[in-house]
Amino acid sequence: MATRAHPIKAFSAAAVAALSLAPAVQAQDLAGAQVTVAGYCCTTPPGAGTQVTNALTQTVGPGTEFPNGSFTSLSSGLAPLPVAIDVGSAYIELNYSGAGVAEPGGFNGFVFSFANGPSITGATLDAASTYSPAVTFTGNQVFVNEAGLNIGATSMAMIDLTTAGTPVPPPVPEPETFALLLAGLGLLGVRARWRG
């Protein structure tokens, strides 16, 4: 003989489950954040005195933020290869249209600095990439190190980004949900009185 759940218990459990008030965590993306990009060479860590291209700032959104020809050299003897860079809500994509060998050294590549966006919690090279720069990150920066790499005229690197989530307030329950909860609590009260 099959056992059946008591209808009042099942009804009350459904009402309580419908009103779960625990906040959910929703990942934020980088859309709308400001990103500043510059090329650095040839020491680690990249920083003051090692910047070799102009720095450009754009808002992360649809389309390619930094088309071919955006970056110009600040250092004689080091010319940046033509590259188009698209920074999306959860990725960075570099597409080269010129070939060459990146100068060896501790660091030779791009630094992406983000402002007005969530913290970066991960940056990994996507398997679809056609060359393999070293990728590292901090809370608001991503470092793409191409030191010593052969870069072809069609080389592409895709870096997948993850960002910190933020608590999202629970949704406001519909009036029908409150009615269901009150009815369930009322039935529990009637049952308790009836048993007593």
Q: Rounded to whole angstroms, how far apart are CA atoms 46 and 109?
A: 9
Please list the helix, strand and coil fractions of the chain in percent, rounded to the nearest 5, in that order: 15, 35, 45
Q: Enter the pTM of the model.
A: 0.72
Q: What is the pLDDT of residues 109-146, one digit of tens each?
A: 999 999 999 999 999 999 999 999 999 999 999 999 99
DSSP code string of 136-182: EE-SSEEEEE-TT-EE-TT-EEEEEEEE-EEEEPPPPPPHHHHHHHH
Does residue 52 contact residue 74 with C-beta atoms inside 8 Å?
Answer: yes
Radius of gyration of the chain (CA): 27
Q: So what's the pLDDT on residue 16?
A: 46
Q: What is the pLDDT of residues 41-81, one digit of tens each?
A: 988 888 778 999 999 999 999 999 999 999 999 988 778 89
- Domain residue spans of the chain: 34-165
Structure token digits, residue 111: 């630094």
Which one of 74-88, 139-153, 154-168 scores highest in mean pLDDT? Answer: 139-153
Q: So what's the pLDDT on residue 128?
A: 97
